[in-house]
Amino acid sequence: LIGFNVLVALVTWLLVSEVQRFDFYIFGSNNHEAVLEFGEYHRLLTSLFLHGSPLDIRLTMIHLFFNMYALWIIGQWVESFFGHVRYLMVYFLGGFLGSLLSVALTQGNSVGASGAVFAVFGAQMVFLYKHRKLFGEMARQQLRQLIIIGGINFAIGIASSFGDGVQIDNWGHLGG
């Protein structure tokens, strides 16, 4: 998953023209009107593999880095306990549900794997909570850390809505 996300970013920034890159984002991003009014349901999944902005490579790389770093750190743990197939199911179902909630409650374009990453994050939290007696203090410490990290992410998303720049889609995160 990390490799595919990185590959999409490399292709869109190194192998295609600026016009083609802009088209990738226009036709692949999650968008309320395109999905609900025009039935472009592919966007609910294609948006998971686009990050940042078609016009700003720094924003793209920052968005991609943080999503893939979280997926690397948390994903390895979840995949080791859930197995490959269940892990992929959590990732894609969470990403899909994040896209659905985003499309239902926001009007702009949305891109990124954050909903899928939050689903993996949530799977780890549920697993630790369910097996907290087995894992003891380690589970309690990790749950506390995950709650703090999740809270910080939501706070950053809320803070982004007050500016004129890029806004973080907390509905996509929450849906995941």
Cα-flanking dihedrals φ and ψ of residue 109, to 5°? -80, 145
Whether 114 is a known active-site residue: answer yes
Q: Token pair for residue 1?
A: 């998953």
Whether 173 is a known active-site residue: answer yes
d(CA 33, CA 6): 28
Active-site hit among 114, 131, 160, 161: 114
Q: 42: number of CA atoms within 13 Å, CB side?
A: 8
Q: Note the residue count of the chain.
A: 176
Interhelix angle 114-130/137-160, rounded to 10 degrees, is: 150
Interhelix angle 57-82/84-105, rounded to 10 degrees, is: 130
User: In 16-174, at which residue ranges do the beta strands (DSSP E only) sit?
Assistant: 30-31, 109-110
SS3 of 36-51: the string is HCCCCCCHHHHHHHCC
> Catalytic site residues?
114, 173
